[in-house]
Structure 1
Amino acid sequence: MTRPARDERTAVDKAMSLLNSFGDDALVGVGVSELARRAELSKSTAFRLLSMLQRNGAVERAGNAYRLGKMIQNLGAPVESDLHGRMRDALTPSLADLFEQTKQTVHLAVLQDTEVVYLNKLFGHLQVRSPSRIGGSAPAYCTAVGKVLLSYNPEAADRVIDSGLLPWTPHTITDPVKLRTELTRVHRENLAFDREEILLGLNCIAAPVFDASGQAVAALSVSGPVGKFTPDSQAGVLRKVCYAATRTVTAISSANARAQRRTP
Structure 2
Amino acid sequence: MDKTLLKGLLVLEAMANQTGESVSIQALASQLGLTKSNAHRTLQTLAHADYVVRDKVSGNYRTTLKLFELGAMQLARLDVRRMALPAMRQLAERTAETVHLSVIDGDTVIYIDKIDSPQPVRAYSTIGGRAPAWCVATGKALLAFQSSEYLDVYLRELNAYTPITITDRAALKTELAKVARFGYAINRGEWRETVGGVASPIFNALGAAVAAIGISGPLERLSQKRMKAFTPDVLAAGADISRAMGYRHPYFGVLA
Interval of TM-score (by shorter of Structure 1 and Structure 2) = 0.5 to 0.7
Q: Does structure 1 conserve the Cα–Cα contact (< 8 Å) formed by 2:76 and 2:245? A: no
Q: Distance in 1 between matches of 2:219 and 2:197?
A: 9
Confirm whether residue 126 of structure 1 aligns to residue 119 of structure 2.
yes
1:226 alignment partner in structure 2: 219
Please tell me the root mean square deviation across aligned C-alpha atoms, in Å: 2.0
Kindly tell me: are residues 215 and 91 of structure 1, through their superposed partners in 2, closer, same or farther at Cα, counting changes over 3 Å? same
Q: Distance in 2 between matches of 1:116 and 1:156?
A: 14
2:152 alignment partner in structure 1: 158
Consecutive unaligned residues in structure 1, runs of 5 or more: 1-80, 252-264
Kindly tell me: are residues 158 and 128 of structure 1, through their superposed partners in 2, closer, same or farther at Cα, counting changes over 3 Å? farther
> How far does the alpha carbon of each residue in 1:32-78 deviate from its partner, in whole angstroms, 9 at most, with x for none?
xxxxxxxxxxxxxxxxxxxxxxxxxxxxxxxxxxxxxxxxxxxxxxx
**C-alpha displacement of 1:128:** 4.3
Q: Distance in 1 between matches of 2:143 and 2:118?
A: 29
Q: Select the residue among 178, 182, 196 that pairs with 1:185.
A: 178
1:239 alignment partner in structure 2: 235
2:102 alignment partner in structure 1: 109
Q: Distance in 2 between matches of 1:226 and 1:239?
A: 20
Q: In percent, how many aligned pairs have the same letter?
A: 35
- Partner-residue secondary structure (3-state), 2:191: coil
2:131 alignment partner in structure 1: 138
The aligned length equals 171
**C-alpha displacement of 1:131:** 5.5
Q: Does structure 2 conserve the Cα–Cα contact (< 8 Å) formed by 1:131 and 1:199? A: no
2:142 alignment partner in structure 1: 149
1:175 alignment partner in structure 2: 168
Paired AA for residue 218 in structure 1: A
Q: Select the residue among 196, 200, 206 that pairs with 1:203.
A: 196
Kindly tell me: are residues 223 and 148 of structure 1, through their superposed partners in 2, closer, same or farther at Cα, counting changes over 3 Å? same
Paired AA for residue 244 in structure 1: D
Q: Does structure 2 conserve the Cα–Cα contact (< 8 Å) formed by 1:105 and 1:126? A: no
Q: Distance in 2 between matches of 1:156 and 1:106?
A: 27
Q: Does structure 2 conserve the Cα–Cα contact (< 8 Å) formed by 1:118 and 1:133? A: yes
> How far does the alpha carbon of each residue in 1:138-172 deviate from its partner, in whole angstroms, 9 at most, with x for none?
1111111011101100233222321x111000010
Q: Distance in 1 between matches of 2:92 and 2:171?
A: 32
> How far does the alpha carbon of each residue in 1:109-154 deviate from its partner, in whole angstroms, 9 at most, with x for none?
0111221110111111334464631011111111110111011002
TM-score by length of 2: 0.62
Paired AA for residue 135 in structure 2: C
Consecutive unaligned residues in structure 2, runs of 5 or more: 1-73, 248-256
Q: Distance in 2 between matches of 1:148 and 1:98?
A: 17
Confirm whether residue 249 of structure 1 aligns to residue 249 of structure 2.
no
- Bigger drift between 242-251 and 186-195 goes to 242-251
Paired AA for residue 233 in structure 2: V
**C-alpha displacement of 1:218:** 0.9
Q: Does structure 1 conserve the Cα–Cα contact (< 8 Å) formed by 2:123 and 2:218? A: no
Kindly tell me: are residues 126 and 157 of structure 1, through their superposed partners in 2, closer, same or farther at Cα, counting changes over 3 Å? farther
Kindly tell me: are residues 221 and 110 of structure 1, through their superposed partners in 2, closer, same or farther at Cα, counting changes over 3 Å? same
- Partner-residue secondary structure (3-state), 1:142: coil
Q: Distance in 2 between matches of 1:220 and 1:127?
A: 22
Kindly tell me: are residues 198 and 129 of structure 1, through their superposed partners in 2, closer, same or farther at Cα, counting changes over 3 Å? farther
Kindly tell me: are residues 159 and 180 of structure 1, through their superposed partners in 2, closer, same or farther at Cα, counting changes over 3 Å? same
Paired AA for residue 111 in structure 2: Y
Confirm whether residue 100 of structure 1 aligns to residue 93 of structure 2.
yes
**C-alpha displacement of 1:83:** 5.3
